[in-house]
Chain A
Amino acid sequence: MDAPLNRPIVANTRSRRSSRDISERLQGALVVGLLALGAWQGFSALATPAAQRRLAQVRSLDALLDGRAAAAVNFVEAHYLPADPILRAAGGVFRWRLFGSGGPQVAVGCDDWLYLTEEAQTVRGAEENLAARADIVAQVAAALARRGIELVVAVVPDKARIERATLCNAPRTAQSMARYGIFQAMLRERRIASLDLARRLEQARQEGPVYYRTDTHWNQRGAAIAAKAVAEAVTTTLDPGFAYRTEAAPVETDGPGDLLRLMSLDLVPETLSPLGIKLRPASDRQFVARTVQTEKPAEADDLLATGPGDQVVLIGSSYSTNANFQGSLQEALRAPVNNVAEAGGGFSGAASTYFGGSAFAESPPRLIVWEIPERALSKPLQAQDRALAELK
Chain B
Amino acid sequence: MIFASFEFLALFLPLFFACYFLMPFRHRNWVILLFSWGFYAWWRVDFLALLIAVTGFTYTVARLMDRAGPKSDRAKLLMILGLVGNLGVLAYFKYANFGVATVNQLRGAMGLSLMSWTEVLLPIGLSFYVLQSVSYLVDIRRGTVPVSRSLLDYAAYKAIFSQLIAGPIVRYAEIANELKLREHSLRQFGIGGRTFAIGFAMKVAVADTLSPLVDAAFSLTQPTLADSWIAALSYTLQLYFDFAGYSLMAIGLARMIGFYFPQNFDNPYLSGSIQEFWQRWHMTLSRFLRDYLYIPLGGNRSGPVRTYVNLMLVMAIGGLWHGSSWNFILWGVWQGALLGTHRWWSRRRPPGAPTLAYPLANALTMLAVMIGWVIFRAKDLESAGHVYAGMLGLNGIGLSDDFLWQITPDRLWFIPVALAIVYVPLLRDRLSRPRPAHPHPGTPAVPEMSGLRLAAWTVSPFAAFTLAIVMLYSRDAVPFLYFQF
Stretch at the interface among B141-149, B308-316, B420-428, B454-462: B454-462
Stretch at the interface among A93-101, A344-352, A357-365: A93-101
In the complex, chain B residues whose CB is within 8 Å of the CB of A208? none
Q: Tell me how far the C-beta of A22 lies from the nearest C-beta in chain B, rounded to whole angstroms.
A: 8
Contact of A27 among B15, B45, B190, B405 (CB under 8 A): B190
Contact of A30 among B42, B404, B462 (CB under 8 A): B462
B435 at the interface (CB under 8 A from A): no
Give A20 to B443 CA distance when docked, in angstroms: 11
Are A91 and B187 within 8 A (Cβ)?
A: no
In the complex, chain A residues whose CB is within 8 Å of the CB of B471? 91, 94
Q: A27-B194, A94-B470, A95-B474 known; 19 other A-B pairs, CB under 8 Å?
A: A16-B449, A24-B187, A24-B190, A24-B191, A25-B187, A28-B190, A31-B193, A34-B465, A38-B14, A41-B10, A42-B14, A70-B1, A74-B7, A92-B474, A99-B409, A100-B409, A120-B404, A122-B402, A173-B405
For B399, give the chain A residue with the smallest CB separation.
Answer: A171
Are B190 and A31 within 8 A (Cβ)?
A: yes
Are B190 and A29 within 8 A (Cβ)?
A: yes
A: residues with CB less than 8 A from B are 12, 16-17, 19-21, 23-32, 34-36, 38-39, 41-43, 45-46, 64-65, 67, 70, 73-74, 77-78, 81, 84, 87-88, 90-92, 94-95, 98-104, 107-108, 117, 120-122, 169, 171, 173-176, 264
> Given A91-B470, A95-B410, is A42 in contact with B190 using a C-beta cutoff of 8 Å?
no
Which 4 interchain pairs have the tightest Cβ spacing?
A42-B10, A91-B474, A28-B190, A31-B193
Are A78 and B6 within 8 A (Cβ)?
A: yes
In the complex, chain B residues whose CB is within 8 Å of the CB of A42? 6-7, 9-11, 14
Enumerate 14 A-B pairs (CB-CB under 8 Å) in ascending A order.
Answer: A16-B449, A27-B461, A31-B194, A38-B10, A42-B14, A45-B10, A70-B1, A77-B5, A94-B471, A95-B410, A99-B408, A101-B408, A104-B475, A117-B408
For B212, give the chain A residue with the smallest CB separation.
Answer: A104
Give A173 to B406 CA distance when docked, in angstroms: 11
Are B186 and A29 within 8 A (Cβ)?
A: yes
In the complex, chain A residues whose CB is within 8 Å of the CB of B185? 28
Are B410 and A117 within 8 A (Cβ)?
A: no
> Given A35-B14, A122-B402, is A23 in contact with B458 using a C-beta cutoff of 8 Å?
yes
Q: Tell me how far the C-beta of A328 lies from the nearest C-beta in chain B, rounded to whole angstroms.
A: 32
Give A94 to B414 CA distance when docked, in angstroms: 13
Are A31 and B7 within 8 A (Cβ)?
A: no
In the complex, chain A residues whose CB is within 8 Å of the CB of B454? 19, 23
Give A91 to B467 CA distance when docked, in angstroms: 8
Give A100 to B457 CA distance when docked, in angstroms: 29
> Given A24-B187, A39-B15, A77-B7, is A91 in contact with B407 using a C-beta cutoff of 8 Å?
no
B401 at the interface (CB under 8 A from A): yes
Give A29 to B191 CA distance when docked, in angstroms: 11
Give A174 to B471 CA distance when docked, in angstroms: 32
Give A15 to B143 CA distance when docked, in angstroms: 43
> Given A74-B5, A101-B408, A173-B405, is A27 in contact with B462 using a C-beta cutoff of 8 Å?
yes
Are A122 and B190 within 8 A (Cβ)?
A: no
In the complex, chain B residues whose CB is within 8 Å of the CB of A90? 470, 474
B111 at the interface (CB under 8 A from A): no
B189 at the interface (CB under 8 A from A): yes
For B16, give the chain A residue with the smallest CB separation.
Answer: A35
Give A45 to B193 CA distance when docked, in angstroms: 24
B413 at the interface (CB under 8 A from A): yes
Contact of B14 among A36, A74, A102, A104 (CB under 8 A): A36
Give A19 to B452 CA distance when docked, in angstroms: 12
Chain B residues 423-481 with CB under 8 Å of chain A are 447-450, 454, 457-458, 461-462, 465, 467, 469-471, 473-475, 477
Are B186 and A25 within 8 A (Cβ)?
A: yes
Give A176 to B477 CA distance when docked, in angstroms: 30
In the complex, chain A residues whose CB is within 8 Å of the CB of B191? 24, 27-28
In the complex, chain B residues whose CB is within 8 Å of the CB of A17? 447
Give A104 to B449 CA distance when docked, in angstroms: 41
Q: Tell me how far the C-beta of B40 lies from the nearest C-beta in chain A, rounded to whole angstroms.
A: 11
For B6, give the chain A residue with the smallest CB separation.
Answer: A77
In the complex, chain B residues whose CB is within 8 Å of the CB of A36? 14
Q: Tell me how far the C-beta of A297 lies from the nearest C-beta in chain B, rounded to whole angstroms.
A: 51
Give A46 to B410 CA distance when docked, in angstroms: 33
For B411, give the chain A residue with the smallest CB separation.
Answer: A101
- Binding site of A, secondary structure by majority: helix, strand, loop or mixed? helix
Q: Tell me how far the C-beta of A116 lies from the nearest C-beta in chain B, rounded to whole angstroms.
A: 11
In the complex, chain B residues whose CB is within 8 Å of the CB of A120? 404-405
Give A91 to B413 CA distance when docked, in angstroms: 16
B344 at the interface (CB under 8 A from A): no
Give A66 to B462 CA distance when docked, in angstroms: 36
For A44, give the chain B residue with the smallest CB separation.
Answer: B10
Contact of A88 among B6, B458, B467, B474 (CB under 8 A): B474
For B453, give the chain A residue with the smallest CB separation.
Answer: A19
Are A65 and B467 within 8 A (Cβ)?
A: no
In the complex, chain B residues whose CB is within 8 Å of the CB of A81? 6, 10, 473
Q: Tell me how far the C-beta of A62 lies from the nearest C-beta in chain B, rounded to whole angstroms.
A: 11
Give A278 to B130 CA distance when docked, in angstroms: 54
Give A157 to B314 CA distance when docked, in angstroms: 59
> Given A31-B193, A88-B474, is A103 in contact with B462 using a C-beta cutoff of 8 Å?
no
Q: Tell me how far the C-beta of A126 lies from the nearest C-beta in chain B, rounded to whole angstroms.
A: 11
Give A67 to B11 CA distance when docked, in angstroms: 17
In the complex, chain B residues whose CB is within 8 Å of the CB of A26? 190, 458
B92 at the interface (CB under 8 A from A): no
Give A252 to B43 CA distance when docked, in angstroms: 52
Contact of A87 among B13, B409, B474 (CB under 8 A): B474
Chain B residues 385-413 with CB under 8 Å of chain A are 401-402, 404-411, 413
> Given A64-B45, A81-B6, is A28 in contact with B413 using a C-beta cutoff of 8 Å?
no
Are B409 and A101 within 8 A (Cβ)?
A: yes
Are A28 and B5 within 8 A (Cβ)?
A: no
In the complex, chain B residues whose CB is within 8 Å of the CB of A174? 401
For B14, give the chain A residue with the smallest CB separation.
Answer: A39
Are B10 and A31 within 8 A (Cβ)?
A: no
Give A94 to B15 CA distance when docked, in angstroms: 31
Are B401 and A122 within 8 A (Cβ)?
A: yes
Q: Tell me how far the C-beta of A336 lies from the nearest C-beta in chain B, rounded to whole angstroms.
A: 41
B17 at the interface (CB under 8 A from A): yes
Are B462 and A34 within 8 A (Cβ)?
A: yes
Q: Tell me how far the C-beta of B179 lies from the nearest C-beta in chain A, rounded to whole angstroms.
A: 23
B44 at the interface (CB under 8 A from A): yes
Give A234 to B80 CA distance when docked, in angstroms: 85
Are A28 and B450 within 8 A (Cβ)?
A: no
Give A17 to B447 CA distance when docked, in angstroms: 8
Give A105 to B159 CA distance when docked, in angstroms: 40
> Given A23-B457, A27-B193, is A173 in contact with B470 using a C-beta cutoff of 8 Å?
no
Give A65 to B402 CA distance when docked, in angstroms: 42
Are B473 and A43 within 8 A (Cβ)?
A: no
> Given A23-B454, A65-B45, A87-B474, is A173 in contact with B404 using a C-beta cutoff of 8 Å?
yes
In the complex, chain B residues whose CB is within 8 Å of the CB of A91? 470-471, 473-475
Are A28 and B14 within 8 A (Cβ)?
A: no
In the complex, chain A residues whose CB is within 8 Å of the CB of B465? 34
Q: Tell me how far the C-beta of B268 lies from the nearest C-beta in chain A, rounded to whole angstroms.
A: 27
Q: Tell me how far the C-beta of B71 lies from the nearest C-beta in chain A, rounded to whole angstroms.
A: 44
Q: Tell me how far the C-beta of A86 lies from the nearest C-beta in chain B, rounded to whole angstroms.
A: 9
Q: Mark B6-29, 1 if CB is under 8 A from A, else 0.
A: 110111011101100000000000
Are B448 and A38 within 8 A (Cβ)?
A: no
Are A103 and B458 within 8 A (Cβ)?
A: no
Contact of A19 among B13, B449, B462, B473 (CB under 8 A): B449
Are B405 and A122 within 8 A (Cβ)?
A: yes
